[in-house]
């Protein structure tokens, strides 16, 4: 008779909590394919499905609902035992900055997992426009931060690279010879600079009809058909289309999501969080 492996139970709990295999995989820092295989393995052992699939994700099946409280208890007890026995318990305070848009969901999941694994670390998380993060690191008001740049410095570790393109709603067509309506970020950042530089290089009239502090705001304007916008490919969905060639735009730079730190007062918490963030972004979707 086969046994229920604690690793399978941990994966099951992560997916159940997230309501999605993709988000569950991010929480345990595994790839989506590896997570799916573990769920299939668990279901093969039980002989029954633990999830019912639907268009937006997964929900617990009858078997899953019976297993869930047991799996939660087992994994929580194992984590508690490890923390109690381990001589390498991480403690201290960490002031972390994360962007309020790009990568927010994934980073929030990383923080939740980190808190469960390192309950003695006091986390102070700032979720805001990340343009101020480099200065905050220099001044020592943040210990660690994740933010976007075009050209990383030697002190900035690249986590993810996102190509950019000009996009419009699939329901609207803009003509190359008209004064092009555009949506831009309304604060000084590399996204706004990249968009303005691209518009100027295009050499055709344009007008700013919408300004936003966030990626979601620019997407909303594009989806509504009132403007085109410069977005990362990670923001694309079926309702958007790339218009670089159609509207005469040249190549646009890629956004780099980077991680940087100040001189640590307490090395342990910072190193542990860096490792958690690296592991999550190294996992293949």
pLDDT 10s digits, 134-151: 999 999 999 999 998 888
Whether residue 238 contacts residue 64, with contact meaning beta carbons closer than 8 Å, is answered with no
Q: Determine the average pLDDT of the residues in 95-114.
A: 77
Half-sphere exposure of 168 (CA within 13 A, CB side): 20
Q: Is 229 in contact with 218 (CB distance < 8 Å)? A: yes
pLDDT at 195: 94
Ordered by start, the domain boundaries in the chain are 6-85, 92-161+257-282, 164-253
CATH of domain 6-85: 1.10.10.10
Burial class (CB in 10 A: 0-12, 13-18, 19+), 154: exposed
What integer is the mean pLDDT of 258-276? 83
The CA angle 226-228-233, to the nearest 5 degrees, is: 135
How far is C-alpha 133 from the chain's CA centre?
17
Could you tell me the CA-to-CA distances from 47 to 2, 65, 241, 246 in Å, in that order?
11, 15, 44, 53
| pTM metric for this prediction | 0.65
Could you tell me which CATH number the domain at 164-253 has? 3.40.190.10
Question: Looking at residues 79-97, what average pLDDT do you find?
Answer: 77
pLDDT in tens, 225-264: 999 999 988 888 888 999 999 999 999 999 888 999 987 6
Query: Percent of the chain beyond pLDDT 90?
Result: 46
Same fold, 92-161+257-282 and 164-253: yes
Is the domain spanning 92-161+257-282 CATH 2.30.30.100? The answer is no
How far is residue 265 from each of residues 4, 148, 241, 273, measured CA to CA in Å?
42, 25, 47, 14
14-63 confidence digits (pLDDT tens): 999 888 898 888 888 788 899 999 999 999 999 999 999 887 789 999 99
Pick the range with the lowest mean pLDDT from 46-60, 95-109, 194-208: 95-109
The two tokens of residue 75 are 């994994």
Q: Are 269 and 90 in contact (CB under 8 A)?
A: yes
Residue 178 vs residue 9, higher pLDDT:
9
Residue 283, pLDDT > 60, answer no
* Sheet with 144-149: strands ordered across: 121-128, 92-99, 144-149, 255-261, 157-162
Six token digits for residue 200: 């100027």
What are φ and ψ of residue 116, in 5° steps?
Answer: -65, -40
């Amino acid at each position: 008779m086969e046994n229920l492996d604690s690793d399978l139970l941990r994966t099951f709990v992560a997916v159940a909590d997230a309501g999605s295999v993709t988000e569950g995989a991010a929480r345990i820092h595994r790839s989506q394919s590896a997570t799916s295989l573990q769920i299939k393995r668990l279901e093969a052992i039980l002989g029954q499905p633990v999830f019912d699939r639907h268009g937006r994700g997964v929900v617990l099946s009858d078997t899953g609902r019976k297993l869930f409280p047991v799996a939660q208890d087992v994994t929580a007890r194992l984590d508690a035992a490890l923390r109690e026995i381990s001589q390498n318990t991480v403690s201290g305070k960490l002031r972390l900055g994360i962007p309020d848009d790009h990568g927010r969901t994934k980073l929030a999941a990383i923080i939740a997992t980190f808190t469960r694994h390192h309950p003695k670390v006091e986390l102070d998380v700032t979720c805001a426009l990340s343009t101020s993060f480099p200065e905050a690191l220099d001044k020592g008001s943040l210990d660690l931060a994740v933010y976007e740049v075009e050209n990383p410095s030697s002190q900035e570790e690249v986590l993810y690279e996102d190509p950019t393109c000009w996009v419009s709603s699939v329901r609207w067509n803009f003509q190359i010879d008209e004064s092009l309506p555009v949506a831009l970020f309304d604060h000084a950042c590399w996204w706004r600079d990249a968009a303005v530089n691209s518009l100027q290089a295009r050499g055709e009239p344009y007008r700013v009809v919408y300004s936003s502090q966030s990626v979601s705001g620019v997407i909303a304007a594009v989806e509504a058909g009132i403007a085109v916008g410069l977005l990362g490919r990670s923001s694309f969905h079926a309702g958007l289309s790339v218009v670089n060639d159609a509207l005469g735009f040249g190549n646009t730079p890629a956004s780099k999501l980077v991680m940087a730190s100040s001189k640590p007062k307490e090395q342990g918490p910072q190193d542990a969080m860096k490792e958690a963030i690296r592991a999550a972004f190294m996992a293949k979707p």
